């Protein structure tokens, strides 16, 4: 026969177990409701994350199930998809998403439908209004094609707080290289890379352009378009950022493969942030005139023209823009 104290303790344990079961049931009901809302309204990455949580499958098990269906997909890609760092675009990736619906026991077409919605629809993170690469540079279509092939969105989840760029012009008037010190802020969670685009002058061979990861980053994938003379480099951060985080990193491009340069232009897809551009010339090739300018697009006329005088022995000119606007900003020069 149990004593009164033992009976009380046993009753308390039963109450605790019942409370835990009730909390678990409530948690499952909440998760199911949240999943239902996300499957209806998105965004894709949060819906996928909620479905994985509801099913209780770790990513390596999901990868195993996909492999059993003849689909090869890395755990890293799955992780990026559920974080919103990347978005499935290619046919084989969309096939994998269809298989995920089956593996995660979701109604057919629910995840694929979310991918058909405009990117960012349903997301709560604020981001600046942007312009496409096509609206900024003449080779914008080539850049967007390279990004699509890498399954990377044009919007990398970052906007610039400050950017100090140095450009070096060689003895033959060619673009020798450029280096950047960049400060960015994330406007969504999970951002861990920056996409740097290099567009050389006519005659540039992007296959011979060298990418430098100088500070707080390392070089990831590099892709180029030979005909357009453009290169896209993935710079991987040493940390994964949350919305609102800032990050400082440095990188550069060593070129020297193009013809004689007559300007250097930087395109801005959104407003805000400080930009400093310095162009330094070789003493064997000094321009007779330098001017800063802005343009609304690649085919638009120059505006905001202002003369710049090279500084003495440093043979350099610069511009400082405290708050950039969407469009193009640059320095042009005339040769004798």
Segment 139-163, tens digit of pLDDT: 778 888 888 777 766 667 888 899 9
* DSSP assignment of 162-191: EEEEEEEE-TTSBEEEEEEEEEEEESSTTE
Residue showing tokens 């080539």: 142
Instruction: Report pLDDT digits (tens) over 116-147.
Output: 765 544 444 445 555 555 555 667 788 888 88
Q: Please tell me the number of Cα atoms within 13 Å of 302 on its side-chain side.
A: 12
Q: Name the nearest CA neighbour of 275 among 225, 329, 317, 219.
A: 329
Give me the sheet containing 191-199, strands edge to edge: 191-199, 230-241, 217-225
Q: What is the per-residue pLDDT for 207? A: 96
DSSP code at position 31:
H
Produce one character per residue of 66-76: b if its CB has 16 or more CB atoms within 10 Å, e if not.
Answer: beeeebebeee
What's the token pair of residue 147? 């990004």
∠ Cα 192 91 229 (to 5°): 60
Q: What is the per-residue pLDDT for 21? A: 46
Q: Report how far residue 178's alpha carbon sits from residue 204's, in angstroms, rounded to the nearest whole number.
A: 14
Q: What is the per-residue pLDDT for 49? A: 87
Q: What is the per-residue pLDDT for 174? A: 97
pLDDT one digit per residue (tens) for the chain, 336 residues: 344 444 444 544 454 444 444 444 444 444 666 788 888 877 888 889 889 988 888 999 999 999 999 999 988 889 888 877 678 888 889 999 999 999 999 998 889 888 876 554 444 444 555 555 555 566 778 888 888 777 766 667 888 899 999 999 999 999 999 999 999 988 888 889 999 999 999 999 999 999 999 999 999 999 999 998 999 999 999 999 988 899 999 999 999 999 999 999 998 887 778 999 999 999 999 999 999 999 988 888 999 999 999 877 889 999 999 888 888 999 999 998
């Amino acid at each position: 026969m149990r004593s009164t104290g033992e009976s009380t303790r046993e009753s308390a344990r039963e109450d605790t177990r019942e409370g835990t079961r009730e909390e678990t049931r409530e948690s499952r009901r909440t998760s199911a409701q949240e999943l239902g809302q996300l499957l209806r309204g998105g965004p894709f990455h949060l819906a996928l994350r909620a479905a994985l949580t509801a099913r209780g499958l770790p990513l390596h098990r999901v990868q195993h199930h996909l492999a059993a269906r003849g689909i090869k997909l890395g755990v890293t890609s799955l992780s990026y998809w559920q974080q919103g760092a990347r978005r499935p675009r290619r046919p084989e990736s969309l096939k994998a998403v269809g298989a995920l619906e089956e593996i995660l026991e979701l109604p057919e077409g629910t995840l694929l439908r979310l991918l058909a919605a405009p990117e960012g629809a349903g997301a709560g993170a604020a981001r600046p209004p942007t312009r496409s690469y096509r609206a900024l540079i003449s080779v914008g279509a080539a850049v967007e094609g390279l990004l699509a092939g890498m399954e990377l969105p044009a919007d990398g989840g970052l906007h610039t707080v400050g950017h100090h760029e140095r450009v070096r012009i060689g003895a033959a008037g060619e673009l020798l290289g450029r280096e950047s010190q960049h400060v960015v802020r994330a406007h969504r969670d999970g951002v861990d890379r920056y996409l740097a685009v290099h567009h050389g002058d006519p005659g540039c061979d992007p296959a011979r352009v060298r990418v430098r990861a100088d500070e707080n980053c390392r070089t990831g994938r590099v892709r180029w378009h030979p005909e357009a003379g453009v290169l896209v480099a993935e710079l991987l951060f040493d940390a994964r950022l949350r919305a609102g985080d800032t990050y400082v990193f440095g990188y550069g491009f060593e070129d020297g493969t193009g013809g004689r340069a007559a300007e250097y232009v930087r395109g801005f897809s959104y407003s805000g942030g400080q930009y400093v551009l310095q162009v330094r010339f070789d003493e064997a090739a000094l321009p007779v005139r330098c001017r800063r300018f802005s343009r609304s697009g690649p085919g638009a006329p120059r505006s905001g023209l202002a003369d710049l005088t090279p500084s003495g022995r440093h043979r350099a000119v610069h511009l400082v823009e405290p708050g950039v606007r969407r469009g193009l900003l640059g320095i042009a020069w005339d040769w004798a």
